[in-house]
Amino acid sequence: MKNTAGRRLVLKKMVTGAGALGLPLTVTDIFAASDNVLGPELKGKINHSVCKWCYGKIPLETFAQDCKKIGIKSIELLGPDEWPVLKKYGLTCALPNGAGMGIEKGFNDPANHDELVKSYEDIFPKLQAAGYTTVICFSGNRRGMSDIDGMRNAAVGLKRLMPSAEKYNITMIMELLNSKVNHRDYMCDRTEWGAGLCDMIGSEKFKLLYDIYHMQIMEGDVIATIRKYHKYIGHYHTGGVPGRNEIDETQELYYPAIMKAIVETGYKGFVAQEFIPKRADAVASLKQGVEICDVA
């Protein structure tokens, strides 16, 4: 814990308060409680989030406490049954799930539209009640469909949801995924296609999730792409390439430069760690990832 004036003031108040109540208070108690109140002193340019699925063996309640200590403000890709745990620890869910038909069955197929529309209209009021403003969605797989037909189909389905999204102040975020390694045949696999869909829909309540890991595999040229298409991007995910593991020196991307490029676009949303830790101490890897992305 850094010895700043603000932290010293908190410690002083804690000691004074405990003394007034006649309670014993050890140095360990003071430091632990101060960390829980303030968290680590990050630079503040990046709002840090994390995807829980990468840490599946850690119970959510334990993980929430770990994230709080690291300075992470959000745990995402969680559904309504899990949101109360986040609230308990003062965390948000920067990108919830809880609607849709999965990655492969998305808005590019008109046969899915009725079920998808109902699913998202059901989740919108729950999101608003929880204080959340986004939800993830997917294009679906091509299954022989042309990209332009899929874009038109997706626009038709998503436009049906825009009035409800605007009513509940929810932005639908479609994830860009690679179709070479992890999600064969997925349609929204290039930033240009996603931006075209955004233009076709014509609403600020529809944006893209620019997953840096996936787009490095599909396109490369990450920083230039972010600068070109940043107005269409509503969320970011990280991940080491190749392998989707730690974002340190073992992989090919230099994340501090990528984060600085994101900050320079004026982005104020969240960046979520979505790598699968290889090390035994997964939380230490997560802490390292946050520190790497915590640019000035």
For the stretch 264-275, pLDDT in tens is 999 999 999 999
pLDDT in tens, 227-239: 999 999 999 999 9
pLDDT in tens, 82-116: 999 999 999 999 999 999 999 999 999 999 999 99
CA 98 to chain centre: 15
Query: Residue 41's pLDDT band (boundaries 50, 70, 90)?
Result: confident
From 1.10.760.10, 3.40.50.970, 3.20.20.150, 3.40.50.300, which CATH number describes the 43-293 domain? 3.20.20.150
Do 143 and 109 touch, CB atoms closer than 8 A?
yes
Do 271 and 49 touch, CB atoms closer than 8 A?
yes
pLDDT in tens, 156-167: 999 999 999 999
d(CA 21, CA 179): 61
CA proximity to 235, closest of 200, 180, 273: 273
Give this prediction's pTM. Answer: 0.87
Rounded mean pLDDT, 116-142:
98
Whether 50 shows a pLDDT value over 80: the answer reads: yes
d(CA 168, CA 80): 16
Boundaries of every domain in the chain? 1-38, 43-293
Whether 38 shows a pLDDT value over 50: the answer reads: no
d(CA 211, CA 274): 9
pLDDT in tens, 24-35: 443 334 333 434
Who's near 225: CB < 8 A, 6+ residues apart? 191, 210, 215, 219
Other Cβ atoms closer than 10 A to 247? 27
pLDDT at 5: 43
d(CA 270, CA 265): 13
